[in-house]
């Protein structure tokens, strides 16, 4: 069973993802709405996969991504964002994102990326 950590500033998005992912037998080991809590939570729980939004209120998901990949390279990071421009996608990949999903996305696509 894959252990997941959710990072999104939207409570609705985190709650919706939790419900869908738990029904698919994924374990949600933590969640955060900002960069500081995300980094602390990931270090404490050591998930297999992080589902990370780019926009986190006053902080950036790219900051979280860089910090996580500096210290915990083995954790898979899937960016799920409404930001759909080549510059941001390129930055995310250069910072170590394993995948980039553009909102809205299909759950089937998300499940595939988590599992592979």
Number of domains in the chain: 1
Q: Is residue 20 part of a domain?
A: no
Tell the residue number behind the tokens 């729980």, with chain if given.
45
What φ, ψ does residue 79 adopt, rounded to 5°? -80, 130
Q: Give the pTM.
A: 0.95
Q: Is residue 31 part of a domain?
A: no
Range of the domain at 81: 38-105
Tell me: the pLDDT tens digits for 32-76?
Answer: 999 999 999 999 999 999 999 999 988 889 999 999 999 999 999
From residue 24, alpha-carbon distances to 17, 72, 89, 111, 115 in Å are 11, 26, 28, 8, 11
Tell the residue number behind the tokens 């919706």, with chain if given.
16
Average pLDDT over the chain, rounded to an integer: 96
What is the reported pLDDT for 57?
80
CATH number of the domain within which 61 lies: 3.40.50.2300
* CA gap 59, 49 in Å, rounded: 21
Q: Is residue 92 part of a domain?
A: yes
Q: Is residue 22 part of a domain?
A: no
Q: Is residue 54 part of a domain?
A: yes
Tell me: the pLDDT tens digits for 83-113?
Answer: 899 999 999 999 999 999 999 999 999 999 9
* CA gap 52, 81 in Å, rounded: 8
């Amino acid at each position: 069973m894959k252990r997941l950590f959710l990072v999104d500033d939207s409570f609705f998005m985190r709650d919706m993802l939790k419900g869908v992912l738990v029904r698919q037998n994924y374990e949600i080991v933590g969640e955060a709405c900002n960069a500081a809590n995300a980094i602390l939570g990931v270090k404490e729980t050591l998930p297999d996969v992080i589902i990370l939004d780019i926009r986190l209120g006053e902080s950036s998901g790219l900051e979280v991504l860089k910090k996580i990949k500096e210290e915990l390279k083995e954790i898979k990071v899937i960016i799920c964002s409404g930001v759909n421009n080549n510059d941001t996608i390129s930055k995310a990949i250069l910072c170590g994102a394993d995948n980039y999903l553009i909102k809205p996305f299909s759950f089937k696509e998300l499940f595939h990326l988590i599992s592979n």
